[in-house]
Amino acid sequence: MEIERKPDSPVFEKIKQTLDPAYNYMIFEKATNSNDEDEFPEIFDAISHLKLRNFEWKIHHDEVKGVALLVIKVDPDRPDKILEKLLTIGIPKDIIFYSYGSLVKFEDV
């Protein structure tokens, strides 16, 4: 059984505080030793095939932990389609994926 991994980066905690609950976010974490903006080519390649509106991204670096965090902000109706695309191509083993968003409440019919 795989042990659940929780992010322990102080940068990750700062990122979480800035997330807008009206949107969904995908966060990809990768070990790195540079501040290069080309650290997630496979992720950008996968999402470039999707027509996303209100698509925003930013890479944060935690130099103490040696990780880069790619934060992608998407409309609330799109994360399942994006995740499906990423799972189809496969997320590299050296990238950890987190998803954040508001829960949808269903009413009894």
> Does residue 105 lie in a domain region?
no
**Per-residue model confidence as pLDDT tens for the chain (109 residues):** 444 556 667 888 899 889 988 888 889 999 987 766 678 888 887 777 776 666 788 999 988 888 999 998 887 766 666 677 777 777 788 888 888 876 655 555 4
DSSP, collapsed to helix, strand or coil, labels residue 90 as coil
Choose among 45, 76, 72, 75: nearest CA to 59.
72
Asked if the structure places residue 45 within a domain, the reply is: yes
- Rounded to two decimals, what is the model's pTM? 0.77
The confidence score (pLDDT) of residue 71 equals 93
CATH label of the domain that carries residue 72: 3.30.70.100
Contact 91, 83 (CB under 8 A): no
The total number of structural domains in the chain stands at: 1
Q: Which residues form the domain of 88?
A: 10-100
Residue 64 DSSP label: T
Max CA separation in the chain (angstroms): 53
